[in-house]
Structure 1
């Protein structure tokens, strides 16, 4: 393997722009400005630089610049799986695996590039034989294991539409998602190990199948942990075993640039989770820009192979999709299936570091809360193996405190010497990409995002729509971005899509985050400007939590808010109005906690339950989560609550008093 001096991917791209396009930039700010003002030239350059494959030429890079509804690369035909499989020959010749996977029980698997293709094609043929055609939905209930990656590629090969939920989600929450899309195929695991516990998921699979009459074929990953058989299920392993001339001759279908690739879910504060549809082409081109910001492969320039990329994630988080995206460049992806704090309830925050050491991970990513937990546990990272191969650390999910980043840098200075590069990113499920990212060549800004993403016309606006510098404002995107949603599934007239992002300013994307852009280009996300719950990088709408607890007879009403603590973590508070005037007690708290664990996940069990006299609602009946959250963040009551718009304004002073007590306690 060649070990040439490091050349960043951004440097390689800049050199190419100068050589091929005659473009030269004196700094990153100039380059970003060009990328967001000449969209056609920028995105054409990404296509050409990465040699993205199409059977047909495109008519124009951007044929209709509007949001929503921009038309990108019309006439081009692409396929996500084709872009992955194009690296097989070169990577395999170097003896590099496509996937390295380990679970918390210590089972390790490596899958070579030809084997990845053979298994994905084998499953694609099995699905085709079962009647799957373009546009059919394939739903998965799988953890972070190779079978999930294989199944995604199989779906993409056929033009079927992929969607996945993690098995740590309860069946009710999964059904809220899968019912919307009526999948033809379900792929599920019948048991998992997590935090040292063996969990039988066969009952959950049976519940899913019974409630999803659209499912015609069920493939099961047999874990050995199931206590009951699942009638009519087919073994996924058997479906992956085909190896014949038909497999060898198979080619992924050429698809229109905007053909749906997958459906991700991002919950709002009311109603069912949004079923967000992204296209093959949009995901491909934006992931390739992400590669420049991640600097994947640069340590081994001029070839881009040899990187070992890990981002700890559950399959229900968009970062799982981002990790799989490493395959688009011929990068080895390293999957860990299990608890980041170790098995057997040990709270061993060295678990992931030991995994990275064993497999010589070069690029290590995780949610900001993981790094904060490591610091709180006072671990010494070097105690967990030889981590000298790591050259980049990535974070997202919530703002990374500056002191945590500085702590991590000091840890790696002792391991490697010199400065560790942190790639702090922020974007979201909404675009399956980042709006803010890292840049290896820019100065470090502990606790901040180094820069705005190339091609992302992001600004911070005040209430009047005026751009701000050095002040907090609403995060907006003023020009189209290729991986913005094609549409929401079931949103026939597009009204929910428009309401979600374009209600505040027509034609301008409002993301729902508070943003500050400094004069030097560094950025800070200061929290959500809506009420979506974000727990360790996993988002859940408050409606899901209410659905879990308010069916209990003792609960008359409830309201939940997530308060960031400034240390990379947050506290989830639930205000509860008990039925029949009774007081909140430990039995009620236990029942609500159990209901949330069962229906959603333990991640969304509140840190504190608070007995409340009532829940503030608008005159139309909507719960006022955001105003109450802002009170608990220290905003003045006059700025966040319009009493004339509240149906029960008499209870607001009670919340204001509780917020004051909370803030004084936090100090």
Structure 2
């Protein structure tokens, strides 16, 4: 039997928060005592008894109900479940847990500047901003939107909106005004909180002209709060500066208002790579329980610890990042390029700030390995989590070469859809390189074939067969629920289809193969693109890659691989190496028809390769018409593919 490459010690298992929860569930919810310390047994119980499990999470980890629920779960099926009917709470209330003089939010800028804010300051600023929002007419369920870099003021504005029952949404300030308006303009917001600019890769970007353009595109906005995120910019006409808004709110008492469990907390948007972005509405209670589970159990985050997850306001990991504050822990925010001026940048930050939990991406880890980064001691680091794309085995191996067995790396996969993880690791699960350790607690995940039959050790569609508290309340502007149904339930009746292709192994691990709508299917033999990337991108002469499969009108199947070459690229020799490594390590049936050099592989602003949009562009779609130009910070790379498609007349 294959052995894991990392295994938790008995002492670590005994001390883990998830083990502590299991002991509590034995006493209070009827869990078999044999499940204590046995992750698989605990997971099986959590999906067989979802009401008992999630009520246990709420009670043991402290959801802070003001009015108690009449039942944890009512209704049957994934779509009509009702969680914690009658309960009231507020997501922001757990800010009370942080010690007054403890650092709550630390912001590090690309140029090395650092701003630190204590819990006393955070609670005071949240209370003042909440009072200001109320004074300008913001009421429960009104929308407050942000156009910001990754800054402290964005955290305050979000928690202030949540504390009065308003709904928050944002885009990063790197979006141009029309792209931001495609998202925020759907919401009918009354307040805009905006920055003035940002610095990225050593360059300064004054965004005040875009702010002016965005305000014109948001006619419902009556109040604009301006955060001076770039000192060299001038004032924004008609806006009130952040400090003045806080002063207008005055000294106020921190006291979030209780709201129903399903009261809307925020609206997150899909990437918009293949059409207008969809707004996903999540509720206070569901998101709170998901974070208590994900961060509190799977990452074992404790009061007084420090978490840093590299993200931007365009990605749902921003929402995970600010959820650090639910635990009385310190959140580190970084503003800038994670690889500038070199791949050592984030490791230095982890070391300098005593980070305990570091969240990153496979790309950052592999770039560090390729650059031969000298990683500082990072003595406080105890866990690395990786998400955004499948984590290749080589990344695990490099991390172990640096930290030994002291720091495991957990691969996580989830989605904006539930603002959390479907699969991931935990302090009590082993790690197998190239695989994800387990299905997360409470997630009834299966892999199905095309006929809807569960399969094991085979590739298929990842589905969720039981409800989760953090599933969307609804899509924005979807009164009859038809868009929500089409997104998740149109393939298998009553069962959530995530759109990911996966393998559930017989030992309970999960292998992610990429989006099912980007699956390679040559002569009926399917393969996820992730397997090809894992093979090809270990070659030193390959900086990046993108593989596409296209059914042509004449019945042929064309499968090229686009390569961003490194300095060691040697034409025919390197092309042959690519074909050989794919045949040996992925599939001989999926050796590409052509190897085509490209200057860049376009990614969404959350770092995912734009496989489906590029496939559509190669088939003749206009990048602007399908929304792809607004979804990436590499529009020139998309235009390159458009020109290539025109030259080849691919369709």
- TM-score band (shorter)? 0.7 to 0.9
User: 2:271 touches 2:631 (CA, 8 Å); kept in 1?
Assistant: no
1:216 corresponding residue in structure 2: 222
Whole-Å separation in 2 of the counterparts to 1:128 and 1:535: 49
User: 2:300 touches 2:427 (CA, 8 Å); kept in 1?
Assistant: no
1:50 to 61, 73, 91: 61
1:323 corresponding residue in structure 2: 321
2:410 aligned with 1:399, yes or no? no
Distance 1:578 1:508, change over 3 A: closer
User: 1:61 touches 1:73 (CA, 8 Å); kept in 2?
Assistant: yes
User: 1:124 touches 1:158 (CA, 8 Å); kept in 2?
Assistant: yes
2:112 corresponding residue in structure 1: 106
Q: Shift in Å at residue 68 of structure 1? A: 2.0
- Pairing 1:78-157 to 2, within 5 Å after superposition: 78-83=89-94, 85-88=95-98, 91-92=99-100, 95-157=101-163
User: 1:118 touches 1:243 (CA, 8 Å); kept in 2?
Assistant: no
Whole-Å separation in 2 of the counterparts to 1:268 and 1:102: 29
- Residue aligned with 1:81, SS: helix
2:48 aligned with 1:37, yes or no? yes
Whole-Å separation in 1 of the counterparts to 2:449 and 2:276: 30
Whole-Å separation in 1 of the counterparts to 2:529 and 2:213: 26
- Pairing 1:576-595 to 2, within 5 Å after superposition: none
Whole-Å separation in 2 of the counterparts to 1:575 and 1:488: 25
Whole-Å separation in 2 of the counterparts to 1:447 and 1:563: 23
2:211 corresponding residue in structure 1: 205
User: 1:55 touches 1:77 (CA, 8 Å); kept in 2?
Assistant: yes
Whole-Å separation in 1 of the counterparts to 2:449 and 2:319: 33
1:286 corresponding residue in structure 2: 290
Q: Shift in Å at residue 442 of structure 1? A: 1.8
User: 1:309 touches 1:334 (CA, 8 Å); kept in 2?
Assistant: yes
1:217-241 deviations in whole A, cap 9, x for unaligned? 0011113445453210110122234
Structure 2, gaps ≥5 residues long? 1-10, 520-527, 531-558, 564-581, 587-606
User: 1:100 touches 1:110 (CA, 8 Å); kept in 2?
Assistant: yes
Distance 1:263 1:254, change over 3 A: same
Q: Shift in Å at residue 598 of structure 1? A: 7.3
User: 2:273 touches 2:610 (CA, 8 Å); kept in 1?
Assistant: no
1:525 corresponding residue in structure 2: 512
Distance 1:485 1:562, change over 3 A: farther
2:633 to 585, 596, 601: 601
Q: Shift in Å at residue 397 of structure 1? A: 0.5
2:450 corresponding residue in structure 1: 463
1:443 corresponding residue in structure 2: 430
Q: Shift in Å at residue 59 of structure 1? A: 0.9
2:349 aligned with 1:355, yes or no? yes
1:313 corresponding residue in structure 2: 311
Q: Shift in Å at residue 528 of structure 1? A: 0.5
Q: Shift in Å at residue 271 of structure 1? A: 3.2
1:19 corresponding residue in structure 2: 27
Whole-Å separation in 2 of the counterparts to 1:123 and 1:600: 32
1:659 corresponding residue in structure 2: none
Distance 1:198 1:35, change over 3 A: same
Q: Shift in Å at residue 8 of structure 1? A: 1.1
2:621 aligned with 1:612, yes or no? no
Distance 1:427 1:224, change over 3 A: closer
- Pairing 1:294-313 to 2, within 5 Å after superposition: 294-297=298-301, 304-313=302-311
1:398-429 deviations in whole A, cap 9, x for unaligned? 0010011111111112xxxx342112111100
2:378 to 370, 387, 400: 387
Whole-Å separation in 2 of the counterparts to 1:458 and 1:318: 21
- Residue aligned with 1:611, SS: helix
* Greater mean alpha carbon deviation, residues 326-335 or residues 288-297: 288-297
Whole-Å separation in 1 of the counterparts to 2:517 and 2:139: 38
1:433 to 412, 415, 420: 420
Q: Shift in Å at residue 453 of structure 1? A: 0.7
1:627-646 deviations in whole A, cap 9, x for unaligned? xxxxxxxxxxxxxxxxxxxx
2:361 to 363, 367, 370: 367
- Pairing 1:247-286 to 2, within 5 Å after superposition: 247-248=252-253, 250-267=254-271, 270-286=274-290
Distance 1:578 1:436, change over 3 A: closer
- Residue aligned with 1:381, SS: coil
Q: Shift in Å at residue 96 of structure 1? A: 2.3
Q: How many residues align?
A: 555
Distance 1:607 1:33, change over 3 A: farther
* Greater mean alpha carbon deviation, residues 321-330 or residues 22-31: 22-31
User: 2:422 touches 2:440 (CA, 8 Å); kept in 1?
Assistant: yes
- Residue aligned with 1:61, SS: strand
Distance 1:507 1:599, change over 3 A: closer
2:18 corresponding residue in structure 1: 10
- Residue aligned with 1:100, SS: strand
* Greater mean alpha carbon deviation, residues 13-22 or residues 390-399: 13-22
Distance 1:611 1:563, change over 3 A: closer
2:193 aligned with 1:187, yes or no? yes
- Pairing 1:403-414 to 2, within 5 Å after superposition: 403-413=394-404
1:161 to 157, 161, 167: 167
Whole-Å separation in 1 of the counterparts to 2:465 and 2:473: 17
Whole-Å separation in 1 of the counterparts to 2:529 and 2:335: 19
Whole-Å separation in 1 of the counterparts to 2:474 and 2:443: 19
User: 1:62 touches 1:72 (CA, 8 Å); kept in 2?
Assistant: yes
2:475 aligned with 1:488, yes or no? yes
Q: Shift in Å at residue 69 of structure 1? A: 3.1
RMSD: 3.1
Whole-Å separation in 2 of the counterparts to 1:131 and 1:148: 20
1:116-170 deviations in whole A, cap 9, x for unaligned? 0100111111111111001111110111111111111000011110001111222
Whole-Å separation in 2 of the counterparts to 1:65 and 1:498: 16
Whole-Å separation in 1 of the counterparts to 2:443 and 2:349: 34
Distance 1:63 1:563, change over 3 A: farther
Structure 1, gaps ≥5 residues long? 298-303, 537-559, 580-587, 616-650, 656-667
User: 1:185 touches 1:218 (CA, 8 Å); kept in 2?
Assistant: yes
